[in-house]
Amino acid sequence: MKQKRTKNEYVEWTQKIAPKTHKLKNIILAFIVGGIICTIGQVILSLLLKTGMLKEDAASLTTLLMIFLGAFLTGINVYDNIGRIGGAGAAIPVTGFANSIVSPAMEYKKEGYVMGVGAKMFLIAGPVLVYGIVASIAAGILYYIFTINI
Amino acid sequence: MGTRLGKQTLRLDSHPVIQAWASIAGAKEGNGPMGRYFDEVVQDEYFGEKSFEKAESKFIRETFAKILMKGNVSAGDIQYIFSGDLLNQCIAASYGIRETEIPFFGLYGACSTMAESLILGSLMVEGGFAERTVCITSSHFCSAEKQFRFPLEFGSQRPPTAQWTVTGAGGVLVGNSGNGPKIVHVTTGKIVDMGITDANDMGSAMAPAACDTITMHFTEAGLAHNYYDMVVTGDLGTHGKNICKQLLEENGILIQDILDDCGTMIYDTTVQKTDCGGSGCACSAVILTGYLLEKLSKKDLNKVLLVCTGALHSPSAIQQGESIPAIAHAVGIEMIP
């Protein structure tokens, strides 16, 4: 049997007739879900500041609490549903980062604490950490060079 | 002995018989439109085991036990088992049947494994090397997600071309006598790769393979386009089925009215949120052993062509920039008095 299309023509054609992502709907949902998560963070921060806590300490504690919230919601099988609806709105806040670490840890627990949880925990978050650290080192070096010259 | 009709198609003149069949499906499949046809629906995704992989092995083990029971045979009456699944090193199959002490062929045909095992099992019977063989396959949504995509609890979005791996197992007992549905023609697929690199778009990757095998089947067996009551592809999903329909029309194979797809039959795609439909080895396996063979044995259908489709990629190959090779195997099953 001969194909009537070249590979490129075929790929183009299938993409053209494929069911499309609802971009506007996804953007709006990401905005709402991300907004809700950030509002929760802001409420926590404001409450902490009200107790008379220093701003820096309150900010750190808020991040910690949000990480706990993300990890907790992952643990009780809720965050994957938030992620399915919210997309980037659920992935980019620190709760999403917690989800990306806790979900593989849960999944690979059955393969032991060393080669399972330990080795696979950063399956998804690994690249974020690697390139985040590389970027911060680069930024640090640049900062050092420019501040010395001044 | 069988007759070679062409490059890919054989006619099995002794008509190996599908003597018994069994299907076990997961909860989501049980809630779908095909739910009432399965022998058993398991609500617990762990099936009482400690991991998804062990659960999938249990699906195979329990299905095998059901086949023996329904066929009224013991393990000693089976000469060969042909089995495979989606997991690395096909562990669902090998762990599932390790206690049976029956000669075993482990197969990997991705989601085409049901037809692949059925072809090999029936050829073994046709050749007179076995009185009875068992062909069985499984897949599990959770173990497949873990192996091919992300951890289960990771909050990622599914693209609209994605499909949902069917949880379950289906298997058949093929023998050289009896009154059940008979295997008359088999067409072994060849690998077709049209350059699709998106692992979330299996329908597009597999549709050309399905079209190729169906075209070869009708051409080499010399069958009229209205010969079958139903031509059922494995797991093309709604998107892949549309492509396949169009490709077949371009090839001059006019079976649009009788063409269906197990992936589109198994779920209510809008209500169950499965995007393009079902996939996985168990998709065609449970539709064959739950629905199609039941309809054949009740003579609601007389002739069915099952075309199981498989995408033969791996996450490593995709990450290395490779495209997705696909395959489709066809088995013509008929009720012959």
Nearest to A124 among B150, B204, B276 (CB): B150
CB contact under 8 A, B156 and A11: no
- Identity at A14, one-letter amino acid code: T
**How many CB atoms are located within 10 Å of the residue B64 CB?**
26
Report yes or no: B202 at the A interface, CB cutoff 8 Å: no
| Cα–Cα distance for residue pair B79/B67, rounded to 1 Å | 14
Identify whether the C-beta of residue A40 lies closer than 8 Å to the C-beta of residue A69.
yes
* Structural domain boundaries in chain A: 21-149
Q: Give me B241's structure tokens.
A: 């089925």
Cβ-count burial of A115 within 10 angstroms (0-12 exposed, 13-18 middle, 19+ buried)? exposed
CB contact under 8 A, B150 and A103: yes
Nearest to B151 among A3, A19, A107 (CB): A107
The answer for residues whose C-beta is within 8 angstroms of residue B263's C-beta and 6 or more apart is B163, B203, B233, B234, B235, B236, B237, B238, B240, B241, B276, B277, B278, B279, B283
CB contact under 8 A, A1 and B195: no
pLDDT score of A149: 63
Average pLDDT over residues A106-119: 93
Specify the DSSP class assigned to residue A21.
Answer: P
Residue A2 has pLDDT above 90, yes or no: no
Query: Which residue in B has a C-alpha nearest to residue A79's C-alpha?
Result: B155
| Cα–Cα distance for residue pair B327/B226, rounded to 1 Å | 24
Residue A21 has pLDDT above 70, yes or no: yes
Residue A132 has pLDDT above 90, yes or no: yes
pLDDT score of B13: 96
User: Strands B164-165, B278-279: parallel, antiparallel or unpaired by DSSP?
Assistant: parallel
Query: Which residue in B has a C-alpha nearest to residue A107's C-alpha?
Result: B151
Q: What is the ipTM of this complex?
A: 0.90
| Cα–Cα distance for residue pair B191/B194, rounded to 1 Å | 10
The answer for residues whose C-beta is within 8 angstroms of residue B300's C-beta and 6 or more apart is none
| Cα–Cα distance for residue pair A102/A141, rounded to 1 Å | 32
Query: Which residue in B has a C-alpha nearest to residue A1's C-alpha?
Result: B212
Identify whether the C-beta of residue B291 lies closer than 8 Å to the C-beta of residue B38.
no
CB contact under 8 A, A7 and B195: yes
The strand pairing partners of B231, in sequence order, are B259, B305
User: Strands B182-187, B259-261: parallel, antiparallel or unpaired by DSSP?
Assistant: unpaired
On chain B, the residues whose CB falls within 8 A of the CB of A26 are 157
* Structural domain boundaries in chain B: 15-175, 182-334
**How many CB atoms are located within 10 Å of the residue B181 CB?**
27
CB contact under 8 A, A106 and B151: yes
Report yes or no: B319 at the A interface, CB cutoff 8 Å: no
Burial A2-15 (b: 16+ CB within 10 A, else e): ebeeeeeebbeebe
Q: Give me B105's structure tokens.
A: 């062929």
Phi-psi region of B101 (alpha: psi -120 to 50; beta: other; left: phi over 0): left
**Which CATH code is given to the segment(s) B182-334?**
3.40.47.40
CB contact under 8 A, A11 and B195: yes
Nearest to residue B310, comparing CAs of B112, B164, B27, B43?
B112
pLDDT in tens, B110-159: 999 999 999 999 999 999 999 999 999 999 999 999 999 999 999 999 99
pLDDT score of A4: 78
pLDDT in tens, B276-329: 999 999 999 999 999 999 999 999 999 999 999 999 999 999 999 999 999 999
**How many CB atoms are located within 10 Å of the residue A56 CB?**
8
CB contact under 8 A, A103 and B153: yes
Query: Which residue in A has a C-alpha nearest to residue B216's C-alpha?
Result: A1
Report yes or no: B271 at the A interface, CB cutoff 8 Å: no
User: Strands B303-311, B230-233: parallel, antiparallel or unpaired by DSSP?
Assistant: parallel
Q: What fold is seen in the domain B15-175? A: Peroxisomal Thiolase; Chain A, domain 1 (3.40.47)
CA distance B70 to chain A (A): 35
Higher pLDDT, A3 or A108: A108
| Cα–Cα distance for residue pair B235/B238, rounded to 1 Å | 9
pLDDT in tens, A23-70: 999 999 999 999 999 999 999 999 999 999 999 999 999 999 999 999
CA distance A150 to chain B (A): 45
Report yes or no: B151 at the A interface, CB cutoff 8 Å: yes
